Amino acid sequence: MSQYVFKMPDLGEGTVDAEIVAWHTKPGDAVTEDQLIVEVMTDKAAVEVPAPVSGRVVSITGAPGDKVAVGSPLIVFEVAATGAPAASMPAAAAAAAPAAEPIPTAAGPRQGRVMASPANRRRAREAGIDLSTVAGSGPGGRILRGDLVAARPHSAANASAAEAAVSGPVVQSRPAGADVSAETSEIKVIGLRRLIAERMSEAKRNIPHFAYVEEVDVTELESLRLHLNLSRPADAASMSYLPLVVMALIKVLESFPQCNVLYDAERGVLVRHRAVHVGIATQTSDGLKVPVVRNAQSLGLWEVAAEIRRLAERARSNKATRDELVGSTITVTSLGKLGGIASTPIINAPEVAIIGLNKAIERPVVHQGAVAVRRIMNLSSSFDHRFVDGYDAAAMIQALKELLEHPAMIFIPKVKSK
């Protein structure tokens, strides 16, 4: 009999740690290879981890909610000496990290000492990254610059789903002999909620939000929407304002490319994107998720609508993949009827703008000189005031308003000028 130490695998793209969501095994259990033993969650995705070997579980590391660093021991198995797959024996040539490990891992820091070049130590220090929590993918476990980039905290609103118990068990306490008013319950802030909390905090902390609210007369837009619904394709869902706003937004961004950028703080650059990947803030039972309509600029109105619907469904049913949940260059948020008259949405870092749709409602307004009942919807936007000046923000929203109030203009191609 010999022991096999299974370390937290690198779950892709430089993830540096993963949170234990749920154990499916315990010490003493016999497991067979490929059997599900633990669920973990990274900041990108939920992962089911299969047993790498057949054997008996000797010990496990970490309770649900704990973060375990990639490359650190997760489970120790006892395996039959002969029956153990060759993979579990360390390679005879000792110097290198065991090539036998079934899942390639970055070697952890040697003996508690972190290896990183002076430049990377400085970067880590400036970014507030604790090097001891970063797994190095360089020779001998050296932390490379890319490892640091992956270690940076991500945008607040973008999180992937977890399996059951993402919010952790609810612990109730009832003080002995106390009356009901003293009763409390504790919910551990783990999983998706923790991620949302961290990212919201970070966005609010780092980004000076500039709020701009404008009312839009969507009477014409409503008229168009109703007409579209009358003649919609058989499989298409009912057209809402959201796809129409996205189409208008894409058009407006052609003239305001400075609002379609991502800010790379580490390098101090704004990365301007030609493509528009629109994040659609989506409420799910687990919490807020932001699936992304990729390359929205190349989609037609019904395609946008279909994609929004598809993504929302996947997000709500916890089937959205990591790729569907990352990479937005601008975000739109709408609470529909619950939209209120104004809101202050939090920017989905590292983007620099977020457009929020408030509720559309009939109001008496002055229209062409006389009081009329028109359908009014407010747009509540937030901009990163470091990079978007008030003038540009206002101009952009005014351009958006212009399009929404004259919706035909959304679909009229720009005159190409030489």
Partner 1 sequence: MANMNMIQALNSAMDIMLKRDPSVVLMGEDVGYFGGVFRATEGLQRKYGEHRVLDTPIAEGGIVATAIGMSVNGLRPVAEIQFADYIYPGFDQIVSELARIRYRSAGEFFAPVTIRTPCGGGIRGGQTHSQSPEGIFTHVSGIKVVMPSNPHDAKGLLITSIEDDDPVVFFEPKRLYNGPFDGDPTKPAVPWSSHPKGQVDEGYYKVPLGKADIVRAGAEVTILTYGTMVFVAAAAAAAMNVDAEIIDLRSLVPLDVDNLCSSVRKTGRCIVAHEATRFSGFGAEVLSIVQEECFWDLEAPIQRVTGWDTPYPHAFEWEYFPGQARVAMALKAVMELP
Sign of CA dihedral 246, 247, 251, 257: positive
Query: Do residues 353 and 381 touch, judged by C-beta distance below 8 A?
Result: yes
Q: Is 227 a catalytic residue?
A: no
Q: Minimal distance in Å, beta carbon 261 to partner 1?
A: 24
- Which is nearer to partner 1, 73 or 138 (by Cβ)? 138
Binding site for partner 1 (CB under 8 A): 117-122, 145
Q: Rounded to the nearest 5°, which phi and psi values hold at 52?
A: -80, -20
- Tell me how far apart the alpha carbons of residues 24 and 414 are, in angstroms, rounded to a whole number: 57
Query: Do residues 41 and 21 touch, judged by C-beta distance below 8 A?
Result: yes
Measured between its terminal Cα atoms, the distance across the chain in Å is: 77
From residue 414, give the alpha-carbon distance in Å to each of 88, 254, 300, 395, 409: 63, 10, 16, 18, 9
Q: Minimal distance in Å, beta carbon 111 to partner 1?
A: 20
- Which is nearer to partner 1, 148 or 308 (by Cβ)? 148
Q: Minimal distance in Å, beta carbon 124 to partner 1?
A: 11
- Which is nearer to partner 1, 226 or 269 (by Cβ)? 269
Residue of 66, 389, 392, 406 marked active site: 389
Q: Minimal distance in Å, beta carbon 119 to partner 1?
A: 5
- Which is nearer to partner 1, 119 or 408 (by Cβ)? 119
DSSP annotation string for 333-391: EE-GGGG-S---PPP-TTBSEEEEEEEEEEEEEEETTEEEEEEEEEEEEEEETTTS-HH
Residue of 24, 209, 273, 385 marked active site: 385
Taking CA 70 as the corner, what is the angle to CA 67 and CA 75, rounded to the nearest 5 degrees? Answer: 80
- Which is nearer to partner 1, 128 or 233 (by Cβ)? 128
Q: Minimal distance in Å, beta carbon 117 to partner 1?
A: 5
Q: Minimal distance in Å, beta carbon 151 to partner 1?
A: 18
Q: Minimal distance in Å, beta carbon 115 to partner 1?
A: 12
The two counts, helices (H) then strands (E), for the chain are: 7, 19
Q: Is 385 a catalytic residue?
A: yes
* Nearest of 414, 394, 404 to residue 297 by alpha carbon: 414
Q: In what order do the strands lie in the sheet with 30-31?
A: 2-7, 73-79, 55-60, 30-31
- Tell me how far apart the alpha carbons of residues 16 and 371 are, in angstroms, rounded to a whole number: 61
- Which is nearer to partner 1, 151 or 242 (by Cβ)? 151
Q: Which residues are catalytic?
A: 385, 389
